Chain A
């Protein structure tokens, strides 16, 4: 799973609120407010990325070490996956099919 790229789910509804992001699933009433690195991570997921690649990008943007970023990024991504807001790319998507 570590090497698989993640992408935003098609069921995600979201809006930019300045630097923040407001996020919801199309079939659930909860709204999530993403701030700081979480909002930046969501924006970076416009392109499918591996968690490691995402952490590298965030580390560059926020002037931190990728390993430090991973300590909060991994649980965040796991939460988004559990809520159906991001998903791992399928084999067909990876091969461009």
Chain B
């Protein structure tokens, strides 16, 4: 009997990509609770239900009922999110803010053959930097509150990538300035993201999403850098957007060079091949062969390796920030954030304070002194 783990989940994550004719591994006896928990955590219930309906995943009747229940909960949340999205985009439009829907609803409705295959847990909306304050004020008017204060006023607009908002219903909305945090967020030009957006329809309203090429690149960035190790649904998004969309591979290579994300794209495509067993489309080979600068490799390693949780992304972000004045502002915000920020971000069980905040850089300093 197969191990209830990555093999089964990865097989579910590839359902519908053409490789499932032989059927998927059967969830092992005694492991169902854990398997269902992992399917839910990885947001794979939609693909599992589709695989079971197609006869590729064999489930006992009581397990089928439990899977359906978990999937129904996920879908109910998606519908609540979509209703909120329509309310938010209409309000933003009323204020003249041109929002672009990222990830969840945009992928579910335009990249997948059935939106129920692609659950999502929150909303992601990209807005132009010039309209950031108006967008935040509009969200406040709709009852959304900012979940975390900024380290310093204006930090997100200059260095960050999102501001998490939550409304009284518990709906979470990430307002994006760019696609990703860290050094790659400094290199991606947000202006490029608004060129080539395309419309899609939801609930009778026309919304905008990234074009197929930028959408594929975003899927790669999110899969590679969003979680370490990469989660299965973001990897499926990469395969889905690469194979199902009409990606302009020359444009993709050009943007990957400009945004310095060739290493990230290569990492994501390799992870899709190794984890899901799905090879990149022929057109993507040129992307994987792009020359990668040393600083890109170093930045990627800081974001996906052990340095990820030891300040690596912050150091690489500092390196990526273009001017000395901005580097100083970034350092000041990280080392001397506001008291509100400290109180909101303090690890559980610790008291908010600058010494806790400085623990990691002080360790670096001590190590440097020891080496010297």
A residues with CB within 8 A of B: 9-20, 22, 24, 26-29, 31, 33
Contact = CB atoms under 8 A, between A and B. Distances in A.
Contacts of A17: 49, 68, 71-72, 75, 116
Contacts of B83: 13, 24, 26-29
B222 to A, nearest CB: 22
Given A18-B64, A26-B83, 6 more contacts: A13-B203, A17-B49, A17-B71, A18-B68, A20-B72, A24-B80
**Closest CB pairs A-B (n = 10):** A10-B204, A26-B203, A15-B75, A16-B116, A15-B116, A24-B79, A17-B72, A11-B204, A18-B68, A22-B75
B78 A15 contact: yes
Contact of B71 (A11, A18, A27, A33): A18
A18 B82 CA distance: 20
Interface string B36-70: 00000000000001001100000000001000100
Interface of B is mostly: helix
11 contacts: A9-B204, A10-B204, A16-B114, A17-B72, A18-B71, A22-B75, A22-B76, A26-B86, A27-B87, A29-B80, A31-B80
Nearest to A12: B203
B68 A22 contact: no
A34 to B, nearest CB: 12
B198 interface: no
Contacts of B115: 15
Contacts of B52: 18
B331 interface: no
Interface string B100-136: 0000000000000011100000000000000000000
Nearest to A19: B53
Contacts of A33: 72
A33 B75 CA distance: 11
A26 B76 contact: no
A26 B116 contact: no
B49 A18 contact: yes
A31 B80 CA distance: 9
B354 to A, nearest CB: 44
Given A10-B204, A26-B204, A20 B79 contact: no
A10 B76 contact: no
Nearest to B67: A18
B57 to A, nearest CB: 12
B343 interface: no
B294 interface: no
Name, among B53, B64, B68, B83, the residue most crowded by chain A CB atoms within 10 Å (CB to CB). B83
Contacts of B325: none
A32 to B, nearest CB: 10
Contacts of B82: 13, 26
B359 interface: no
A26 B72 CA distance: 18
B194 to A, nearest CB: 25
A81 to B, nearest CB: 16
Nearest to B105: A13
B202 interface: yes
A10 B206 CA distance: 11
B371 interface: no
A27 B83 CA distance: 6
A31 B314 CA distance: 43
